[in-house]
Structure formats: structure tokens, C-alpha cells
């Protein structure tokens, strides 16, 4: 009886062992489809799709909008050959200048200083840029005197923004942003004495009895809103554009100008204003994995008038920038 029990238990153990080994072989065997084609292992890291009708593996197409890396840092050295045209005013004396961008190098009194930085975390962007430039040229005095003047303009701007990407793809992006723009303006005027009798009255109004050289400066901060975007058009080449508007008459107050009235000069009140507009665009080239360059055009317009200061100038010209990204 005991012998029969031992034989039965051994048969049961043998049957269980065979069944267990068969189960393991099924698990380790390569999976196949209905046509007998081997299916890819889920852990092999490959994205393939089996075409059962032809028995071929077809790569899965990637999404056009691939999310870029979590962080991106860009630092650039911009160069803006901006021509200057429009009206500038100091102590109510308004002059008119016109220096084309191809003449800028002849009128520069100091080499321009510029810097730009851009940081992105996920969809949030933090970027800034600034520039300082000095120009010297001759100017007319419309509506005041029948003579000219030498004008020396110092202009500095620094702007910083916080943006959010509405479209956040590796091949395209679209952002809205808001921030502030700081502007500094200094004007030095030297009026030519052509014997005009009104020069005596002008000296009285300016408080300069024995000379015709004077200067003054002012600075202000404008709120700014804008939009910018970029789209890749071919391999390492992208098209970029940016535009903003600022001021919104935040700094407007009272303003005046000195104007000619018959044979004398009078001080007249004028409307105060504070607006600024900017647009730029061009091509960006990714020269290497870390070095990029932009070639485009930049236009900026000021419409600022407060106290005796006037800045109704346009800065317009080619824009070049090269930088590195991390």
C-alpha cells in the first residue's frame, strides 16, 4: 500500500514539474502575430509597427510638435546698426535729425554697448536686452530759427520681460510677454550764431546769456506688452519675429516747446505723450550645437514728450546677433 502511494506521489510531482517547465517555455518564447511574424519585445526600446499584410516592420512616425528640453539658456551679443531720424528736444528747443543706418559708423562718438540673455523653463520665459549708443550730427531747428545746430545724443535702453509659450514645440514656438523698458536720453545742443535777432530772446528763455551751448537729460520706465515666435523652416534655419508696444501714456504730464512767433520766440504748452513701438524679424541659423546667429531687421519708434524734452525718433536698421545656448 505504501509503495503504491509513493508511486502515485512521484507521478503527480513529475506531472507538475512538466507542466511548470512548459509554462516557462511559453513565457520565454518570442511572441508572433497571426502570420507567424515575430512581434517586438516591449522592453527593446524600439518603436515599430508590424504591417501584417506585407510582413514588414514600419517605423512609427514622430509627432511634429515634440516638446523641447526642460531648460534652455541663451546669451547673445547683438549688433544693431540703427539709423536715427525724427525730432529730439531739450529745454523746449526741438531739433530734427536724419542719419541713415549706412551712415551710423560715421556719426558714432563711442562704440555701442549691447547684451542680451534669454532663459526658458518649460513654458515660462525670462529675457532681457540692452544697448547704449552715442551719436553726433548736425540738425535743423524747424519752427524756431533759420539756422542749424550741432547735436550730440546719448541714448540707452534696457528692457526685461516675462513670457509664456502658447505653442511650445521644438520646431515652433509662440509666446506672449509683458515687462518694462527703461530709456535714458541726453541731448547736447550747440546753435550756430548767424546773427538772428531772436537769439537774444532764446538766450533769455534758456537762461544762457552769453553762449548757445546747453544740455539736459531725462530717463523713464514704460510698461510693455508683446508677442514673439519662431518656426523652423529648413534643418538648422528658423524664421523669427517679435513685436511690442509700450508707454500707454503712463509718464505723460505737461510739456512745452519754444517756437517762433513773428520776430520773437515764445514758450507754448503742447500735449504730453508717452508711447513706444518695436518690431523685428529675420532668420536664425544654428551654426553648431551651441552657437547660433541671427540676421534680420529691427525698427523702434518713440513718441515721448514731457516737460521740455521731446523724443519722437525712429531707430531703424539691420540687426545682427551671435550667441551661445546651454
Q: Average pLDDT of the chain?
A: 85
DSSP assignment of 16-28, as one string?
A: HHHHHHHHHHHHH
Residue 279, all three cell numbers: 518690431
**Per-residue model confidence (pLDDT) at position 16:** 47
**Per-residue model confidence (pLDDT) at position 2:** 44
Residue 260, all three cell numbers: 517762433
Q: How confident is the model at residue 42 (pLDDT cuts 50, 70, 90)?
A: very low
What φ, ψ does residue 34 adopt, rounded to 5°?
Answer: -65, -25
**Domain ranges in the chain?**
2-59, 71-325
Round to whole Å and give the CA distance between 12 and 9: 5
> What does the pLDDT look like over 62-100, one tens digit per residue?
788 999 999 999 999 999 999 999 999 999 999 998 999
Say whether domain 71-325 belongs to CATH 3.20.20.70: no
> What does the pLDDT look like over 205-254, one tens digit per residue?
888 767 788 899 999 999 999 999 999 999 899 999 999 999 999 999 99
Contact 135, 152 (CB under 8 A): yes
Round to whole Å and give the CA distance between 80 and 299: 10
Residue 204, all three cell numbers: 533769455
Question: For the whole model, what pTM was predicted?
Answer: 0.78
**Per-residue model confidence (pLDDT) at position 316:** 95
- Any residues with CB less than 8 A from the CB of 293 and at least 6 apart, and which? 284, 285, 287, 320, 321, 322, 323
Round to whole Å and give the CA distance between 199 and 73: 56
Q: Is 1 helix (H, G, I), strand (E, B) or coil?
A: coil
How far, rounded to the nearest angstrom, does the alpha carbon of residue 211 sit from its chain's CA centroid?
44
- Please count the helices (runs of H) and the strands (runs of E) in the chain: 3, 16
Half-sphere exposure of 200 (CA within 13 A, CB side): 5
**Per-residue model confidence (pLDDT) at position 233:** 96
Least confident piece of the model among 53-62, 144-153, 281-290: 53-62
Measure Cα distances from 265 to 155, 193, 199, 202, 204 in Å.
29, 16, 9, 7, 10
Burial class (CB in 10 A: 0-12, 13-18, 19+), 16: exposed
Query: Is pLDDT at 29 greater than 70 in this prediction?
Result: no
Amino acid at each position: 500500500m505504501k509503495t503504491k502511494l509513493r508511486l502515485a506521489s512521484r507521478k503527480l510531482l513529475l506531472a507538475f514539474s512538466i507542466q511548470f517547465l512548459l509554462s516557462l517555455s511559453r513565457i520565454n518564447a518570442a511572441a508572433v502575430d497571426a502570420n507567424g511574424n515575430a512581434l517586438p519585445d516591449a522592453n527593446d526600446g524600439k518603436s515599430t509597427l508590424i504591417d501584417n499584410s506585407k510582413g514588414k516592420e514600419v517605423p512609427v512616425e514622430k509627432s511634429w510638435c515634440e516638446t523641447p528640453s526642460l531648460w534652455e539658456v541663451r546669451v547673445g551679443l547683438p549688433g544693431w546698426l540703427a539709423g536715427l531720424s525724427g525730432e529730439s528736444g531739450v529745454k523746449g528747443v526741438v531739433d530734427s535729425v536724419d542719419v541713415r543706418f549706412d551712415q551710423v559708423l560715421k556719426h558714432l562718438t563711442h562704440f555701442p554697448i549691447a547684451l542680451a540673455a534669454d532663459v526658458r523653463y518649460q513654458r515660462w520665459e525670462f529675457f532681457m536686452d540692452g544697448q547704449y549708443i552715442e551719436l553726433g550730427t548736425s540738425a535743423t531747428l524747424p519752427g524756431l530759427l533759420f539756422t542749424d545746430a550741432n547735436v550730440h545724443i546719448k541714448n540707452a535702453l534696457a528692457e526685461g520681460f516675462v513670457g509664456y509659450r502658447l505653442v511650445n514645440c521644438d520646431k515652433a514656438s509662440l509666446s506672449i510677454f509683458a515687462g518694462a523698458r527703461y530709456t535714458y536720453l541726453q541731448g547736447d545742443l550747440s546753435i550756430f550764431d548767424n546773427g538772428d535777432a531772436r537769439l537774444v530772446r532764446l538766450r533769455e528763455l534758456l537762461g544762457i546769456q552769453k553762449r548757445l551751448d546747453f544740455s539736459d537729460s531725462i530717463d523713464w520706465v514704460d510698461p510693455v506688452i508683446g508677442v514673439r515666435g519662431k518656426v523652423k523652416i529648413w534643418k538648422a534655419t528658423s524664421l523669427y519675429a517679435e513685436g511690442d508696444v509700450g508707454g500707454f501714456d503712463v509718464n505723460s504730464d505737461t510739456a512745452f516747446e519754444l517756437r517762433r512767433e513773428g520776430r520773437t520766440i515764445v514758450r507754448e504748452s503742447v500735449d504730453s505723450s508717452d508711447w513706444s513701438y518695436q518690431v523685428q524679424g529675420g532668420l536664425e541659423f544654428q551654426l553648431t550645437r551651441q552657437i547660433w546667429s541671427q540676421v534680420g531687421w529691427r525698427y523702434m519708434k518713440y513718441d515721448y514728450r514731457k516737460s521740455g524734452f521731446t523724443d519722437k525718433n525712429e531707430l531703424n536698421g539691420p540687426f545682427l546677433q551671435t550667441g551661445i545656448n546651454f
